[in-house]
Amino acid sequence: MYVLSLWQTVPDYAEWKKLFDSDPLGRERSGVRRYTITRPVDDEHTVIGALAFDSLEEAEAFAARLREMWEGPGSALVADAGLRISEVIEEKTIGREAERKAA
């Protein structure tokens, strides 16, 4: 599995969230299997995301389309954006969550 990690500064989270929820890049058809969106507790203008893909090619293609979005239609809602693709080499659930899955 591959994870596309991204970070961006957004002047208005509510407006950014509307754009994200409208899914202009078609996450599912692009191969996104799941995603997580977070914000630092002390910075409401930073959004951090992690999108999981089965293949490196899907992650790279989505990253290219995301860059285009940031430079084009999303440029008014995003600044200081960056991304990185990583390969998941180990994943383990620990604690109560692992116990619930085993039951």
pTM of the model: 0.84
Cβ neighbours of residue 11 under 8 Å, at least 6 residues apart? 45, 77, 79
Could you list the pLDDT tens digit for every one of the 103 residues in the chain? 999 999 999 999 999 999 899 999 999 999 999 999 999 999 999 999 999 999 999 999 999 999 998 998 788 888 899 999 999 999 888 887 656 666 5
Q: DSSP letters of 56-88?
A: HHHHHHHHHHHHHHHHTTTTTT-EEEEEEEEE-
Q: How far apart are CA 70 and CA 77, in angstroms?
A: 8
SS3 41: coil
Which domains are seen in the chain, by residue range?
2-102 (3.30.70.100)
